[in-house]
Amino acid sequence: MRRPLQAVALALAVATGAAHAGRSCERQAPRAENVQRAMALAERTARALDDSGAQVAVVARAGQDLSRYGLVYSHLGLAYKDGTRWRVAHKLNECGSAQAAVWRQGLGEFFLDDLFDYRAGIVVLAPELQQRLLPALADNTRLAGLHTAAYSMVAYPWAQRYQQSNQWALETLAAAQSPGVRSRADAQAWLQSAGYQPSTLRIDPVTRLGARLTAANVAFDDHPAEKRFTDRIETVTVDSVFAWLNRTGLGAPAVTVR
Amino acid sequence: MNSLSLRRVAIATLLAAGLATTQAHPGPSDASALSALPIAVSVAAPVMLLSAGATLTVVAVEASATGTVWVLERASDGARMSVTVGAQAAGGLSVAAGTAVVVTAFSAGWVLSAAGRAIAYIPNEIGSALLYNERVTR
């Protein structure tokens, strides 16, 4: 029996940097209370970031229920203090298309999405990494340096054909931390040497086929065949990035803001 | 009937008792409920109309150089406010004369809603500090 569409959609929601990915451009206005909840969450997150004393942190939102994959957050951005205000550099998929772009937004816009759960995750980065990242985050050329517009929400972490949102942030962080990084391949090599481990999602063939046929922003052809055909789809998730940062001492343990 | 642009138009708005000023940025065209939320680019309103729970009625929808202007009126005393939202294309929300609009105040500003759906967000100083929108790559 074929899986119901809903299951396909859920599998598509698989995380990944694309809080936005997988949905077409909705026209429906948000519920009034959700606007308030999102802005209130942005306000509390700004306060928590202020209180941390940090200049740079990774922030994450929970745009979808990913509990079936053992994941809490769906999308992350690199937040930095610009004067007295926090800005977030992150990558957004465009209307479920196969393209994405890097944006600099406020915490308001970051959370003014159709969130599954009104919680934020914050990882304060190690002081040295903050100092390395801060100038890069204020510099559009450097933000664009490792950006690939071709987008797949489940992009393979060790290939360069596509790039999902969390992957862009992770590779940009790698470039700041390791001055020898000049390309995405360099960044990925460094991340491997630094012990980063992506999440492995179990996605069966029917779901993969359904996704490939119905969603422009999902592709599996960058994954090695031996992994793909055993239903193991590796990709960069927020939770795996948080775990790696903490494990390596590049970041503090994740803090939850509600 | 006027169909309003719902694409996000982020903006800074300082709502002082009377007027707000602003600048507009185009919003991302990604899929999200937010992209259907206009952020007011300017507002002219007597403070009393921004009290929580005020119920207003749209009396006019007008095009202006900076966007679309909604003129809202409180039936009980005829007090009026006008809200300008960016007119960038995208559809989905129709606000026409006669639409009932509720004003809800919260810590980061005000939300105008019709039938439970937000039709505009009016940031106060706290809200404005949390908003910024710039596309870095093409």
ipTM of the complex: 0.90
User: A61-103, pLDDT tens digit by residue?
Assistant: 999 899 989 999 999 999 999 999 999 999 998 778 899 999 9
Half-sphere exposure of A113 (CA within 13 A, CB side): 32
Nearest to B91 among A27, A36, A149 (CB): A27
Amino acid A214: pLDDT = 85
Whether residue A26 and residue B121 make contact (CB cut-off 8 A), yes or no, is no
Nearest to B46 by CA among B1, B12, B25, B77: B77
pLDDT band (50, 70, 90) for residue B11: very low
Q: Is the pLDDT of residue B30 over 50?
A: no
Q: Where are the domains of chain B?
A: 3-129
Q: List the alpha helices (DSSP H) in chain A.
A: 5-12, 32-52, 107-111, 127-137, 140-145, 165-177, 184-193, 205-214, 225-228, 238-248
Nearest to A87 among B102, B132, B137 (CB): B132
CB of B23 within 8 Å of a chain A CB? The answer is no
CB of B127 within 8 Å of a chain A CB? The answer is yes
A-chain CB neighbours of B102 within 8 Å are 32
* CA dihedral over A35, A36, A37, A40, signed as positive or negative: positive
Bridge partner list, A80: A56, A87
Amino acid A94: pLDDT = 79
B-chain CB neighbours of A31 within 8 Å are 116-118
Instruction: Kindly report the number of other CB atoms within 10 A of residue B48's CB atom.
Output: 12
Maximum Cα–Cα distance across chain A: 57
Half-sphere exposure of A79 (CA within 13 A, CB side): 34
A-chain CB neighbours of B35 within 8 Å are 25-26
What mean pLDDT do residues A162-181 have? 97
CB of B107 within 8 Å of a chain A CB? The answer is yes
pTM for the predicted model, two decimal places: 0.85
A-chain CB neighbours of B108 within 8 Å are 36, 39-40, 42-43, 108
Q: Detail the DSSP E strand segments found in B65-137.
A: 67-73, 80-85, 93-94, 100-106, 109-114, 117-123, 133-135
Q: Is the pLDDT of residue A2 over 90?
A: no
Give the β-pairing of B67-73 and B55-64.
antiparallel
Question: What are the two backbone dihedrals, phi and then psi, of residue B23, each rounded to the nearest 5 degrees?
Answer: -145, 150
